């Protein structure tokens, strides 16, 4: 059964940090995180390939870091220096061939 299980998220003050984790029940070619804020479209945050190649949205470069453990089929997103505009539901994404898989989403709220 194809499954992506997310954990982490929560409420943090501006300038704080959160760590999101995603565990896959399979071995994706590429894993990543997208987010969707209220009233906005889902957008890419960061992705990472099996070889460690990463991509980041300009808005999070220098603040967020994505990593993965190929042996455990997990990917983590370390989010630092969080801003109110980072508030969103964060979705884990996995790519296997041309097939896309999504997690259920986890809420991250940045507010004082």
Q: Report yes or no: 73 and 53 within 8 Å, Cβ to Cβ.
A: no
**Confidence (pLDDT) at 42:** 97
Pair type for strands 88-96 and 30-36: antiparallel
pLDDT digits (tens, 9 = 90+) for 49-67: 999 999 999 999 999 999 9
Quote the pLDDT of residue 2.
Answer: 78
Model pLDDT, residue 20: 98
What is the band of 1 on the pLDDT scale with cuts at 50, 70, 90?
confident
Q: Evaluate whether 48 touches 56 at the Cβ level (below 8 Å).
A: no
For 63-101, how does the pLDDT look when each residue is reduced to its tens digit (9 = 90+)?
999 999 999 999 999 999 999 999 999 999 999 989 999
């Amino acid at each position: 059964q194809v499954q992506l299980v997310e954990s982490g998220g929560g409420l943090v003050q501006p300038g704080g940090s959160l760590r999101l984790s995603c565990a896959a029940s399979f071995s994706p070619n590429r894993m990543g995180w997208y987010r969707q804020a209220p009233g906005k479209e889902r957008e890419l945050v960061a992705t990472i390939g099996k070889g460690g190649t990463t991509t980041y949205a300009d808005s999070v470069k220098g603040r967020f870091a994505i990593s993965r453990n190929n042996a455990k089929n997990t990917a983590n997103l370390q989010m630092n220096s969080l801003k109110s505009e980072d508030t969103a539901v964060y979705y884990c994404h996995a790519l296997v061939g041309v097939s896309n898989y999504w997690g259920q989403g986890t809420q991250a709220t940045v507010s004082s």
